[in-house]
Amino acid sequence: MTVPAAYAMVGTSPVRAAIRRDLLPRLGSWLLAPHLELPPDAVRLGTGRGAAYRLVLPGDVRAVLRLYRRGGVLARVVRETYLGLRPRPLRELVLTDEVRRRGVAAAEVLAARVEGNVAYRGALLTAEVPDATTLGEALRLASDAPARAKLAAATGRAVGKLHAAGVFHADLNVSNILIRPGPEVVLVDFDRARLTSGPLAPRARRRNLARLTRSLAKLDPSGRLAGETERAAFAAAYAGAMHAPCAS
């Protein structure tokens, strides 16, 4: 698989990695070790499947390492191993780079590691989004209804830009939408994302929004955090972003 020019593909079977070129001297030996060791001060994050860690690497590189883990029924049999000739970490790096090129606010991938060949394990290293919390936590912490409406509008704009850019996020949920002060929205986890040459078709948009709605309903079944006002703010901002010019 060809990686973007800003990254170097290094290593040989069974361990190889795509690393942002300027980070090769700092990260190369660590990512190409036979067994990937977490730094002693790594902090496990509570989102996802429990396989993400916040790290501070040499040169004060602040990052999040996600170890690929299966979900669902199959995870009971095989948790870490995947099969395929196009490793998911490398594919996610390529997809995320293209998503960012299209103007979507997505966390930058710093490196992707693959251990194995047809059967492999993987890891993805992304730049930490500073001062960020998940959308779910941001809604809980919002001081009042106007603050929640601002969060909803910011999220609507971000998702609208995502869809206008032709990106289908395979796991659009409240944990993969990060909120920075402002509020500013940054999207993460483009594993299994799909790209189209133009804006997403209405059916694909509805599917993606339905996934986000289900995620929100699990967080807030009573509608206390995201009621009619917040949903209206989201919808208006989403529609505006869908009709705005998109970077390419």
pLDDT in tens, 14-46: 999 999 999 999 999 999 999 999 999 999 987
For residue 75, what pLDDT is reported? 45
Rounded to the nearest 10 degrees, how much is the dihedral formed by the CA atoms of 91, 94, 100, 101? -140
Token pair listed for 65: 């390492």
In this structure, which topology does domain 133-242 adopt according to CATH? Transferase(Phosphotransferase); domain 1 (1.10.510)
pLDDT tens track for 176-194: 999 999 999 999 999 999 9
The edge-to-edge listing of strands for the beta sheet with 184-187 is: 133-134, 177-180, 184-187
Distance (Å, rounded) from C-alpha 88 to C-alpha 66? 12
For residue 79, what pLDDT is reported? 66
Residues of the chain with pLDDT below 70 are 47-50, 71-79, 245-248
- Burial of 139 (C-beta count, 10 Å sphere; 0-12/13-18/19+): buried
With beta carbons less than 8 A apart as the criterion, state whether 179 and 142 touch. Answer: no
Distance (Å, rounded) from C-alpha 201 to C-alpha 213? 18
Supply the residues annotated as catalytic: 171
* Residue 196: closest CA among 99, 103, 84: 99
For residue 244, what pLDDT is reported? 81
